Structure 1
C-alpha cells in the first residue's frame, strides 16, 4: 500500500462531498479512508482548515475540487507553500497578486508623475492573469483559435484571451459595474499610452480604487482568504490637503486641448452607462472622510472608518446619503445624447423617433435653436468637448410622462 493511499482516498471523499454539496461527519471520513477516528478529527481543523467549514458536528468542503491530487498530497503533508507551487494556475495567481501590488506601489509613490497610467497598466496585467488562473481552475481553454479550430500562434506561443475577452466570458456577456470599470480602464490605457497627462490623477482616483477593490473581491471569492492583498497592504497615506488652487489648476489643464481625446473618451463612455452602474462603488468609489470624535483616548485609535451600507438601517442610510450629497456637490445632470434619449423613451412610447425628439425639444423649448456654450437648462445643457447639447434624465422622464397622453403627442407631431 502506498503511503498516499489513505490521503488519496480522503481527496476522493472530499471532492465527492464538495461536488454533491453534502456535509460529512468525522465518522464518515474515518469509515471511507480507514484512518482512526481520533486521527480524522485533527485534519479538518489543521491541515485542511482553509477548505473545511465546521458547523457543530458536520463539515462542509469548499475548494478541494480545484486542487490536483498532487497538490492535495502536499497540503496534507504540510509541504504546501503557495510561493513554491509550480502549477500553471498557482503561477498565474501569484503573477496576478504581484502586479496588483505593483499597481498600488506605483500609485502611492509620492515621486511618481505617472500614477494613473502606471496603475492602469499594472492592474490590467493583474486582472488578465487572475482571469486566466480562474479559467485554469475551471478547466476552460482560454486561447484564440483559427477557423479550423487550431490555436493561433504568435511568436511561438498560443495566443491567450486578452482582458476584454476574459471579462465577456467571466460575466457571460452580462453587464456589471465591475465589468464596466475594467472596460473603462482598458480604453483609457489606449488613449493615454503615448501622452503625458498628470492632471488625470485627481479625476480618476475613484475608478482606480474600485478596480483594486473589485480585483481583491474576485481573487478572494475564487481562491480563498489566504490570497487577499490586505495581508500585504496597509491603508495608504493620502495627501488630502490638496490646495484649492492646485485643484483649479488641474481642472484647467484637464480642459486644455492636450486632454481633448482623453476627456472626450471619459465623457462619452460614462454617458453610455446606466445610472445603476454609474452610482455603484464597484464602478467608481466616491469616498469622504469625517473626523471621528471619541470621548476616551482609547476610542480614538482608528481615525478612518469604512461603512458597509448593507448593514445600515433605512434611516442610517438616508443620513449618509444626505452627507454625501452635501460633500460631493452638484454634478452636471446632462448625460444623454439624442440617440440615447430616443432609445429610452421609445421603450415606453411606441413610435418615438429622432424626428419626434427634434420636434419635442423645439415645442417644449428644452434648449435653444442655436448653439449657446453658456446654456444650462433643466432638460439640456451645452457640453464643452462634445460641443453640442446633451440631455438629462429629467427630460427622458418628462417626455415619457407627457406622451403617455396621446393628444399631447399628436400636438407635437404637428410642429414644424
Structure 2
C-alpha cells in the first residue's frame, strides 16, 4: 500500500509540473487523493483497524461489498479517523482538496492554469503534509525528497509572469471562486494561517558567494528569523511564492522529548490523566525501546525513540507523542494499549469499569466457586 501510495504521489507531481498536460491540475488532485487514501489505508492495516463499511440486516451485520470485494472507507472517513480535531490544519487541507476534487473532476478543463495559480499554496501544503506523514509513520527512507526535485520555472520571477498569474486567478469561474472563499471563511483563523493548510513561500535571489555544500534552493522557516528579519520579510509585500530549505544546526537531540514532557503533551490532548508511569508502560507494551539494563540500549524503534549514548538516556519523538494521543484518546484505545481503565482528567474518577486493584475487597464480585460453597453451606 505504501509503495502504491508513493507511486501515485510521484505521478501527481509529474502531472502538475508538465506544461504540456491539458488536465495537469485535475490529475494532480486525483492522484494525490489516491496517494493519501492508500497511505492512510496502509496505516490502518498495520494498526489492525477494520476500515470496511458495514450494514445491518435485522440483527445481522454484514460487510458491504462492491463486485464481491469489501467496500472500504473513502478518504473523507479516513481523514476524520486519523485527525479527530476538526481544526487540525492537515485535516483542513485534505478536506479542501476532497471538496475541490468533487467540483473540478471532468470539468473546468480550460481553467487548469488559473486553478494552479489560485490554490498553489494549498497544493504545496498537500504534498509537504503527505511526505511528513509518510516518513513519520513508515520511516525516513520512504521520503519523496530524493524522487521529487524543485522544478525549473519562470512563473512569478518576472514582472510579466506575475501579472499573467494574477490575470489567470481573476478568470476562475464564479462557482470555484465561491467554493474557495466559502471554505476559507469557514476555517478557524489559526488553521487558515497554518502552513500545513496553505504553504506560502517567498523567493529571494541569493547574491552571496556560492557555497559548495549548499543547495540551489535554500529554505528558511519564518520562526527561525529574528524580529528584525521578520519585519523586513513582511515589508516586501505580496509577490510570488517562496521555496526554502531547512537549516542545518549542530544541535544534539533536536526535537526529542524527555518522558515527563512527552507525558504532559499527551495528557493535554486527551480527556484522561496520563503520567510518566503510564508513559513507561506504553513504551514497554509497544516495544519502542529496550528495558533498562539491556546490553543493547541503542536498539530502539527510531520512528519513536532514540538512545543518547552520552547521557545514557532516551529521547522520544513527536511522532510517538502523536501516536499515543491517537491511541489513548478514547476509553477503548486507552484500555487496549495500557491494560487499565482511564481516569477523567478533571474529576479524577475512573471512566467505565475501574481496575480490580482499585476496588475495595468487600466490593469486589464474589467468584462463582465461592458462591457455590456459600449455597452448599446454607
TM tier, shorter chain?
Answer: 0.5 to 0.7
Q: Tell me the residue number matched to 1:268.
A: 182
Q: Tell me the residue number matched to 2:296.
A: none
Q: 1:108 aligns with which of 2, 10, 17?
A: 17
Shift of 1:210: 0.4
- TM-score normalized by structure 2? 0.57
> Do the aligned partners of 1:209 and 1:284 also contact (CA within 8 Å) in 2?
yes
> Do the aligned partners of 1:131 and 1:166 also contact (CA within 8 Å) in 2?
yes
Shift of 1:293: 2.4
1:143 equivalent in alignment to 2:52: yes
Q: Tell me the residue number matched to 2:215.
A: 302
Aligned length: 234
Which stretches in structure 1 are left out of the alignment for 5+ residues?
1-91, 330-416
Q: Tell me the residue number matched to 1:279.
A: 193
SS at match of 2:236: helix
Supply the distance in 1 between the matched residues of 2:213 and 2:135 (Cα, whole angstroms). 30
Question: What does the per-residue CA deviation read over 1:77-109, in whole Å, with 9 as the maximum and x for residues that have no partner?
Answer: xxxxxxxxxxxxxxx101110001111111111
Runs of 4+ in 1 over 6 A off after TM superposition: none
Shift of 1:116: 1.9
Supply the distance in 1 between the matched residues of 2:35 and 2:96 (Cα, whole angstroms). 16
Q: Tell me the residue number matched to 1:410.
A: none
1:126 equivalent in alignment to 2:7: no
Asked which structure has the greater RCO (Cα within 8 Å, sep 6+), the reply is 2
- The 1:321–1:181 alpha-carbon spacing in structure 2 relative to 1, beyond 3 Å, is farther
1:229 equivalent in alignment to 2:156: no
Return the index of the structure with the highest Cα Rg.
1
The structure carrying a bigger helix percent of its residues is 1
Question: What does the per-residue CA deviation read over 1:40-60, in whole Å, with 9 as the maximum and x for residues that have no partner?
Answer: xxxxxxxxxxxxxxxxxxxxx
- The 1:145–1:246 alpha-carbon spacing in structure 2 relative to 1, beyond 3 Å, is same
Question: What does the per-residue CA deviation read over 1:366-404, in whole Å, with 9 as the maximum and x for residues that have no partner?
Answer: xxxxxxxxxxxxxxxxxxxxxxxxxxxxxxxxxxxxxxx
Which stretches in structure 2 are left out of the alignment for 5+ residues?
240-378
Shift of 1:233: 1.9
Supply the distance in 1 between the matched residues of 2:146 and 2:235 (Cα, whole angstroms). 34
Shift of 1:219: 0.5
Supply the distance in 1 between the matched residues of 2:42 and 2:122 (Cα, whole angstroms). 24
Q: Tell me the residue number matched to 1:354.
A: none
Shift of 1:251: 4.3
SS at match of 1:149: strand
> Do the aligned partners of 1:116 and 1:204 also contact (CA within 8 Å) in 2?
no
- TM-score normalized by structure 1? 0.52
Shift of 1:287: 0.4
